[in-house]
Structure formats: C-alpha cells, structure tokens
C-alpha cells in the first residue's frame, strides 16, 4: 500500500491529472468513480488505484471488473487517494485508461448504414459544457464530434467525469482548420446547420433526415465568422423574454434531439 504523497506513482498521477501534454505523451487519461470504472472498456484499462477504505469495502466488486485482465489494483492510503483525486468527495476508485484516436474520415463516414449526424464545436471552453455535450450526443445518436484545436481537452478530468461514460463511446477528433473541415463536409453531401442568432428559420422547421451537422459556437461569443460563413443554413432557437442565447450544451440538446425525433 502506498502511504506517502511523495511516492513517484502518486506524483505521476497528479501530473497526469493536471497536464494535457503528459496525458497525450503517455496516451492515457484519468477516470474516477465506480460507475466510470465499471463501464471502462477492458481492452483500454491500463492501471487501477483504490483507497484503502474502498478496497476493504468493495474488493469483490473491483476484482469482478478486473476479471479477465492482467491489471492488478494499487492500494493507496485514504489521505493519499484524496491528494490524488480531482473531486471534493472521492469515491475511492480511479484508473488510467488508454486514449483512443479517431480520424476525421472515421468521424464523418456513415455509421452502421445510417446517415451521419455530426456535431461541430468551435472554441468550447467549459469542461462541464463539453462533458454534457458528449453525454447528450450519445443519447441523441450523434455519429461523432469534430472540434477546433482550442476547445477544452476531451480528456480533462472534469470533462471525462461530466460525460458519465460517454467519453468511452462517442468518436471525436480535433482539427486545425475547422472552417475547412465544414467546407469539406458540404462537399461530401452533409448539410451543415449553424446555430446562430442570425438564423431566419426556427430549428424545428428544417429536415434533418439526411446527412447533417450542427455547428455550435463558444459559450460567450458563438461561432467565429469564418466557421459560420461555411454553413449552408443558419438556424435559431426561438425564445421569449430578454434571453438572447442558450448555454451551448442546452442548445446542443435541443437540436440533436429534434434530429433524433425526426429520424425515428
């Protein structure tokens, strides 16, 4: 059992939690919580760490998840686990999971014979927003997510936690030139819809029963002009009162579930 916060493994976990560059170099990310642990794909599980209290209480549950793998859990003293954890009230279990890389081709192509339904995210900065968007995307049947390089890191611990497991399953990629990728989507026959205050048509007046992509912009500034300019259609979400726009994750939910409704 590891009983010191000065332990090399502990220091590495803390650095992986804080530093995107290190996560990318090792090709891993941190996952916390029993639900996320149970849902992790076995072939991507790298390391497991449990607090002493959690291990004594849930040993059988941990061993059941690890059955068939070669991963051996490392036990941390409770105060050491709290030091490593990214949450205020740690559940007592965390693991390192291998990152998965997707190409833009894999994201855009049809999935299971279905016409693609894509999300294109421009400069999304809030970890909770991105995590909620990913979780919503899975629920609405989104094919994949394409993001600008300056979006928050998908493997940020707060993002991962907010996805509630969807980060394991929703394909995504970051691209250098988002406007160019949207242009190529149009050329590939995908209709691109920008959620934009300048939209003339309400979102529920469009037909999404074809290959479609929704463009969602930054929480405060919306889509950059160069990205929005590539969209074929501007759509808006009608609102009452003095509210001008919605949270990016909320807007995403409204649009993607309307598409899902039409496709049913």
| 6-19 average pLDDT score | 97
Q: Which is nearest to 174 in space by CA: 120, 97, 116, 252? A: 120
The pLDDT tens digits of the residues spanning 125-167 come to: 999 999 999 999 999 999 999 999 999 999 999 999 999 999 9
Please give the structure tokens belonging to residue 4: 């010191």
State the residue range of the domain holding 215. 104-263
- Residue ending a domain, among 98, 119, 149, is 98
Taking the C-alpha atoms of 180, 206, 212 and 186 in order, what is their torsion angle to the nearest 10 degrees? -30
* Predicted local distance difference test score (pLDDT) of residue 104: 87
The pLDDT tens digits of the residues spanning 67-93 come to: 999 999 999 999 999 999 999 999 999
The pLDDT tens digits of the residues spanning 160-211 come to: 999 999 999 999 999 999 999 999 999 999 999 999 988 889 999 999 999 9
Residue 2 lies in a domain: no
Strands ordered across the beta sheet of 74-76? 28-32, 93-98, 45-51, 74-76
244 and 158 in a common domain: yes
Is 43 within 8 Å of 66 (Cβ atoms)?
no
Which CATH number characterizes residue 183's domain? 3.40.1280.10
CA 38 to chain CA mean position, Å? 18
Q: At what angle do helices 127-140 and 248-263 cross, to 10 degrees?
A: 10
Give me the chain's average pLDDT, please.
Answer: 94
- Residue ending a domain, among 76, 98, 120, is 98
DSSP state, 210?
Answer: S
80 and 110 in a common domain: no
The pLDDT tens digits of the residues spanning 206-238 come to: 999 999 999 999 988 889 999 999 999 999 999
């Amino acid at each position: 059992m590891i009983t010191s916060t000065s332990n090399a493994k502990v220091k590495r976990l803390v650095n992986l939690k804080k530093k995107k560059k290190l996560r990318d170099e090792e090709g891993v990310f941190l996952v916390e919580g029993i639900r996320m642990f149970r849902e992790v794909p076995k072939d991507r599980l790298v390391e497991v760490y449990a607090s002493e209290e959690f291990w004594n209480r849930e040993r059988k549950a941990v061993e059941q998840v690890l059955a068939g793998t070669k991963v051996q859990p490392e036990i941390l003293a409770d105060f050491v686990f709290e030091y490593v954890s990214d949450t205020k009230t740690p559940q007592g279990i965390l693991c390192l999971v291998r990152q998965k890389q997707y190409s833009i081709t894999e994201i855009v192509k049809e999935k299971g014979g279905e016409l693609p339904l894509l999300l294109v995210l421009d400069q999304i900065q809030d970890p909770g927003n991105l995590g909620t968007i990913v979780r919503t995307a899975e629920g609405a049947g989104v094919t994949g997510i394409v993001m600008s390089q300056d979006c928050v890191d998908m493997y940020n611990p707060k993002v991962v936690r907010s996805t509630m497991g969807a980060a394991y399953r929703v394909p995504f990629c970051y691209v250098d030139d988002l406007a160019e990728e949207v242009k190529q989507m149009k050329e590939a026959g995908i209709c691109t819809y920008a959620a934009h205050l300048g939209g003339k048509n309400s979102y529920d007046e469009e037909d999404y029963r074809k290959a479609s992509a929704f463009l969602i912009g930054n929480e405060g500034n919306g889509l950059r002009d160069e990205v929005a300019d590539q969209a074929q259609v501007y759509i808006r979400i009608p609102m009452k009162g003095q509210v001008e726009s919605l949270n990016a994750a909320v807007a995403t939910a409204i649009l993607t579930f309307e598409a899902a409704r039409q496709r049913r």
